[in-house]
Amino acid sequence: MIANLMLQTYDSDAAEQLIDELVGLYLEVHSDEGEFYGEDRYRRQLGAHRERTGWQLVTAAVDGELVGYIYGFPLPPQTRWWEGIRGDIPAGFTDEDGRRTFAISELLVRARWRRQGMARTLHDRLLGGRTEKRATLLVRPDNTIARRAYDSWGWTQQARLRPGWDNAPEFIVLTRALPIPMVQGLT
């Protein structure tokens, strides 16, 4: 267990005070990954996602320093989340009702805090106790470290997806069944 680790959960209103810190960590983590990962686009994404009903953020701080975070939201009936999906998916796979699928949009951990269980702790805290039937997330095919972690956490590859955003990379669509047990800290 990491000494002085503090996990905190926020709704959209409570997270308002953290926006600059969240953006700063995002830019740090993605500093060498190209134009798509710029500040303006991420601020727009974060703002649009925070407007979603049920949006939730979990942060990890050590001695007051933000070291990681994860956020997501339930997919509404007319979601654009699945636009650009390719592959052989089952009938009804993209049908949403606001209660079926919880989408994880970001899971970020500062470099010096990686490989200590921090990402798993954030993941389990956000998903623990969710009432949706499944969760989904997108991961780049070249992010082999994250893909191995997601595999070990029970995620399954379903398809590929290229969002319609300028300079967007192609992603692998992953899903996993919910619920998962709540956790109290690093394991």
**Four-residue CA torsion sign, 105, 176, 173, 119:** positive
Q: How confident is the model at residue 167 (pLDDT cuts 50, 70, 90)?
A: confident
Tell me what the mean pLDDT of segment 82-87 comes to.
94
Report the chain's mean pLDDT, rounded to a whole number. Answer: 91
Tell me what the mean pLDDT of segment 38-65 comes to.
92
- How many beta carbons lie within 10 A of that of residue 159, not counting itself? 18
Q: Say what the pLDDT of residue 1 is.
A: 58
**Distance separating alpha carbons of residues 32 and 68, to the nearest angstrom:** 18
Instruction: For the chain, give the percent of residues with pLDDT over 70.
Output: 94
Q: Are 99 and 77 in contact (CB under 8 A)?
A: no
Verify cis geometry, omega within 30 degrees of 0, for the bond prior to 179.
yes
pTM for the whole thing?
Answer: 0.91
Q: Say what the pLDDT of residue 186 is.
A: 44
- Residue in this structure with the two tokens 């997919």, named with its chain if needed: 75
Reduce the DSSP state of residue 103 to 3 states and report it. strand
Tell me what the mean pLDDT of segment 61-86 comes to.
95
More confident of the two residues 9 and 1: 9
Q: How confident is the model at residue 185 (pLDDT cuts 50, 70, 90)?
A: very low
What single DSSP character describes residue 168? P
Q: Say what the pLDDT of residue 34 is.
A: 64
Domains, the chain: 5-177 (3.40.630.30)
Q: Say what the pLDDT of residue 182 is.
A: 57
